[in-house]
Chains A and B, each alone.
Chain A
């Protein structure tokens, strides 16, 4: 096989053709189950399809109605509130945990292993277990200790139900982010800290000027991952509140599932899903653009 160094306008060798020939079915498969449904989703968004029977084109009406629909608006508000609180909380706690777990402490490996456990458990079952904690254990604790706000189930009030979902989401999310931060902290060479010590920097200064800039790439990863997972929250909603009380905890994914699949809003929720897709793309690009330039290299 001959290989020339030129990159552009190279002739297709036999080998290249074989490669492309094998790749095309894979691309087709991907197109059929990823791009095609996306296009179809947009198409359904232009109709008043209820999921069954016949339907008519309604133009962009669904897309316009989205912006005045209270329930959709509420679900976006809830999802963003949840995602932002989750991202901040999870990153803060997991960074602190990672700093602790990266020190010279006893049983370091065992502790790391234990802190990772929530990540491997399924969100649905974890949600069911926590649902019991919120409905029985915490109110019982509230009664016993006389702490007022614990006495009623957190899941029953529109004001606190979302906090319960954040707690469960964070319980699981922290595990993943901590491990990523630890692997980030391990990339910082010991000499940097030694130099740091000689210069007399310690504590907060050491962290903010040395450690944090060096683990910036990992911070970016965690931010993007955490935000993405939080925006798509579904399992926890399904098991903890089912969108209640009074639709205060309906995430976008959950609303699409509920009204699109069972609620006869197939067309309308398809439009919603397409807008949701655009929102995710925009957020991901913004995050990468905003954070990508801030990394420090050793």
Chain B
């Protein structure tokens, strides 16, 4: 069922986007075929190291290279090529929704026809009216500002506070049971989903008078604490005690030692924590939805939610708004792709 649908979707995509995306892929594919001959030797050497080396070492095989190699090596090379092509085709499932978003965002409602070709063809004119209108309706800059504010402040507090707490716990965990217990207490918080705490938290933040952006930040800081403290405590093992002892001998206080010596040394982990926290915060809907519902403040995803319930039927306007909501993180991803992927992998694996 699933696969069939995917296949159909892919075919559909291939057909629909033939003019642009596919043309590029075809070019690539033909290029691959043309390059075939000259690349062969180097690819043989790289691709299937061992076999190629073994074969090359035997002088007898040189005259028969083509026939002999086509057994083991070209086999895996064709497999690689097929996989390569399949993977490129698979990318269309990623690009298609984005392509569709862009195309529809630029169109006028009158250009939307009921068939697929009509919906996915290029707009007659690339105009930015939809975007201007969407910005006005969703109060884009305000929402963007809120999102940036929430994410930024959360990340900064998380790095400062969680690294400190991770350090305090990590250094004393083996010495005193209190610290070890604190560690397990906080880390076990990872099992508590936000949905479970949601209702009491709404009451609590209202009672404390922080049912606003401040409350959301506080909740984020607490909510990411278990994972971040686990990450920092784990990373602390890489920082030798000698560093602190040396600082102590020089007469530094514990507080100074931490901020001057340990904090800068945990830089790689700061990056991981920043990426993980920022990604979850930026895309989170539930927390601001339930906590800030009384205020007229929006985050970027929340603005889409409110917009949808009011103007959801104008798809061109809606898609312009979606595109605007996706753009900041997409641009950020394109700039720091490596750091983001590294951060996510580090966070998950450690």
Listed in ascending order, the chain A residues whose CB lies under 8 Å from chain B are 1, 7, 10, 12, 15-16, 18-20, 22-23, 26-27, 29-30, 32-38, 40-41, 44, 51, 89, 97, 100-101, 103-107, 111-126, 128-130, 132-133, 136-138, 140-141, 143-144, 147, 150, 163, 166-167, 171, 176, 179-180, 183, 190, 194, 197-198, 218, 221, 225, 231-232, 234-235, 238-239, 252-253, 256-257, 260-261, 266, 269-270, 273-274, 276-277, 280-281, 284
Contacts and interface: CB of A to CB of B under 8 A. Distances in A.
A115 B341 CA distance: 11
Contacts of A18: 254-255
Nearest to B312: A128
B115 A257 contact: no
A183 B349 contact: yes
Contacts of A270: 199-200
A273 B175 contact: no
Given A183-B349, A277-B192, 9 more contacts: A16-B172, A27-B185, A30-B225, A36-B200, A37-B197, A105-B84, A129-B97, A137-B116, A167-B2
Interface of A is mostly: helix
Given A111-B87, A124-B285, A38 B248 contact: no
Contacts of A144: 115-116
A270 B201 CA distance: 11
Question: Which of the listed residues B97, B165, B178, B225 has the most CB atoms from chain A within 10 Å of its own CB?
Answer: B97
Contacts of B95: 114
Q: Is the interface on chain B under 10, 10 to 19, 20 to 34, or 35 or more residues?
A: 35 or more
Contacts of A101: 87
Nearest to B83: A100
A7 B305 CA distance: 54
Nearest to B43: A104
A123 B93 CA distance: 16
Interface in B307-329: 308, 315, 318-319, 322, 325-326, 329
Contact of A125 (B175, B203, B279, B326): B326
B230 interface: no
Contact of A122 (B90, B97, B171, B329): B329
B70 interface: no
The 7 A-B residue pairs with the shortest CB-CB distance in the complex, in nearest-first order: A122-B283, A37-B200, A253-B195, A40-B200, A33-B222, A105-B84, A37-B197
B271 interface: no
A150 B8 CA distance: 10
B80 A105 contact: yes
B222 A34 contact: yes
22 contacts: A23-B182, A27-B182, A30-B186, A30-B189, A37-B200, A38-B197, A41-B197, A44-B199, A100-B87, A105-B80, A106-B32, A116-B340, A121-B329, A121-B330, A122-B285, A122-B329, A140-B115, A234-B286, A261-B202, A276-B193, A277-B192, A284-B191
Nearest to A235: B285
Contact of A120 (B198, B222, B330): B330
Contacts of A138: 9
A132 B100 contact: yes
B301 A125 contact: yes
Contacts of A35: 189
A238 to B, nearest CB: 7
B83 A105 contact: yes
B88 interface: yes
Given A23-B169, A256-B198, A40 B179 contact: no
Nearest to A15: B254
Contacts of B152: none
Interface string B219-235: 10111010000000000
Nearest to A142: B8
B236 to A, nearest CB: 13
B23 interface: no
B94 A16 contact: no
A274 B202 CA distance: 16
Interface in B1-18: 1-2, 5, 8-9, 12
A26 B333 contact: no
Contacts of B196: 38, 41, 256, 273-274, 276-277, 280
B36 interface: no
A157 B35 CA distance: 50
A197 B50 contact: yes
A114 B94 contact: yes
A106 B195 contact: no
Given A115-B94, A273-B198, A29 B222 contact: yes
Contacts of A166: 2
Nearest to A285: B191
B123 interface: no
Contacts of A112: 341
A274 B199 CA distance: 11
Contacts of B225: 26, 30, 34
